[in-house]
Amino acid sequence: MSKTISITAISSISPLGNNPETVWEKYLNNQHCFIEKDFGNQKAFAAVLDAASKEEIESIRQFDIKYKSLDPSVLFAIAASRKAIAQSGWTKNDIFGVNLGSSRGATELFEKHHQEFLATGKAQTLASPTTTLGNISSWVAHDLQSQGPDISHSITCSTALHALLNGVAWLRAGMADKFLVGGSEAPLTNFTIAQMKALKIYAQSKEELDVWPSRALDFEKKQSTLILGEGAAVCCLEIGKSANALAYIEGIGYATEILEHNISISAEALCFQKSMKMALANTNADEVDAIVMHAPGTKAGDLTEYKAIQKVFGSQLPLLTTNKWKIGHTFGASGMLSIELAIMMMQRQHFIGVPFVPVQQSKKVIKKVLVNAVGFGGNAVSVLLSL
């Protein structure tokens, strides 16, 4: 059985848009996607879907009467998955697995149903089936009429990359030939924003944040500037070296932090050190051209990941970047959106940096990119991609 894994398609729906051309155009400019809006009795920055993406989601909601009761996180996943399957060339005769996850699942619907229960003491008939975690993968599998295994999971912010790990494991075990993997998140709700503010990590409305509300990858920032965004991203995996591969998965790594408290991570992110070393097991560190960091915008999180990279790569660091300064943290979907950025940079041979950090010397060729993700619980994943 071949150990080579091809990524034959990748698709997303996010504040950057709903097609690759739009996404890349928005990556090329130095404008973020944040707006300040009301969440109940609080104001907060957030990154919301653009108009075209909202229109696409509404068309899916109207596609079938059953879809009208689905949470946005499910609709986001359906939108991204339909496009990925079309791009891959897979047909209804292809047997493929589906593994999609989410950090928080049906966030908007769950909060809505819970508020109604508190007010009336009753729950609606569809409150349970439309808010279960398996809701995302099962509806995507239904929409695509897939015939393979259907898996859901939640591993907080590294959910999408854990889906990729699962897909690789199934393919290399010979239990499937093709797998659709990714994550979806619709976390822009009153309670979710309030939770992040309670942790003292959310970006505050201050004058110094007017230009760059999220200062992800800024190691000199005086406060955390995490901002939430919404979206979904999926990719199609195939065993072997496909003729239409966008990129190959050259290495995978994973590790779990020993926690001191519920959201802790060690000063030098030991979980990231272990996951990166595992992903680089068959690759020299100096072959890595760039790293798309997790870098959520928190003061401690960004710095500890950077220290971990220094430990693994020494003084000759690859180019470092993140997309969270532009679209915020999309929780369970974030890792696959980082994979998308990595593939785009390799395809177009153009490094997308962070505008408020010192300019890094660009490399002429970007052939290998490492992507990191980690979530509450210290569950780190690193994926090495190559052309």
DSSP-based three-state secondary structure for 216:
coil
Per-residue pLDDT tens digits for 112-163: 999 999 999 999 999 998 998 889 999 999 999 999 999 999 999 999 999 9
Q: How many helices (H) and strands (E) does the chain have?
A: 11, 12
> Alpha-carbon distance 289 to 370, whole Å?
8
Same domain, 59 and 200: yes
pLDDT greater than 60 at residue 385: yes
Domain end among 184, 212, 239: 239
The pLDDT, as a whole number, for residue 257 is 81
Among 136, 228, 137, 159, smallest CA distance to 189 is for 228
Helix, strand, coil distribution of the chain in percent, nearest 5: 35, 20, 40
Residues 47 and 177 in one domain: yes
In a domain, 244, yes or no: no
Query: DSSP code of 67?
Result: G
Is the domain of 181 the same as that of 140? yes
197 with 228: CB under 8 angstroms? no
Percent of the residues in the chain that have a pLDDT greater than 70, as a whole number: 96
User: Does 32 fall in a domain?
Assistant: yes
Q: What is the pTM of this model?
A: 0.95
Q: What's the number of domains the chain is made of?
A: 2
| Same-domain status, 278 and 204 | no
The answer to whether residues 232 and 255 belong to one domain is no
Separation CA 158–CA 379 (nearest Å): 7
CATH number at residue 26: 3.40.47.10
Token pair of 202 as six digits: 């959310």
Compute the distance between CA of residue 385 and CA of residue 377 in angstroms, rounded to an integer.
25
Q: Which residue has the higher pLDDT, 237 or 375?
A: 237
Domain shared by 115 and 218, yes or no: yes
Asked if 227 contacts 197 with a C-beta cutoff of 8 angstroms, the reply is no
- The answer to whether residue 167 sits within a structural domain is yes
Segments forming the whole domain that contains residue 110? 5-239
- The predicted pLDDT at position 17 comes to 96
Is the predicted pLDDT of residue 322 greater than 60, yes or no? yes
CA pair distance 346, 11, nearest whole angstrom: 16
Q: Where is the domain boundary, 239, 259, 276?
A: 239
Do residues 233 and 263 share a domain?
Answer: no
Q: Distance between CA atoms of 52 and 13, rounded to whole angstroms?
A: 10
- Asked if residue 235 belongs to a domain, the reply is yes
Instruction: Say if CB 248 and CB 4 are below 8 A apart.
Output: yes
316, part of any domain: yes
Same domain, 195 and 320: no
Q: Residue 24 corresponds to which tokens in the numbers above?
A: 């890349």
With 70 as the cut, is the pLDDT of residue 197 above it?
Answer: yes
Q: Model confidence over 336-382: pLDDT tens digits?
A: 999 999 999 999 999 999 999 877 767 779 999 999 999 877 799 99
What type of residue is 127? A
Could you give the maximum distance between any two Cα atoms of the chain, in Å?
Answer: 63
Q: Is residue 305 part of a domain?
A: yes
Whether residue 150 lies inside any domain: the answer is yes
How wide is the angle at C-alpha 332 spanned by C-alphas 328 and 336, nearest 5°? 80
Q: Are 344 and 313 in contact (CB under 8 A)?
A: no
* Residues 27 and 157 occupy one common structural domain: yes
Q: Is 261 exposed, middle or buried (0-12, 13-18, 19+ CB in 10 A)?
A: exposed
Q: How far apart are CA 211 and CA 245, in angstroms?
A: 38
Q: Coil, helix or strand for 247?
A: strand
Q: Tell me the one-letter amino acid at 39.
A: F
Distance CA 106, CA 75 (A): 10
Q: How far apart are CA 373 and CA 202, in angstroms?
A: 19
Pick from 175, 209, 239: which residue ends a domain?
Answer: 239
- Is residue 309 a part of any domain in this protein? yes
Residues 280 and 259 in one domain: yes
pLDDT tens sequence across 167-189: 999 999 999 999 999 999 999 99
Q: Are residues 229 and 164 in the same domain?
A: yes
Based on the fold, state whether residues 157 and 278 are members of the same structural domain.
Answer: no
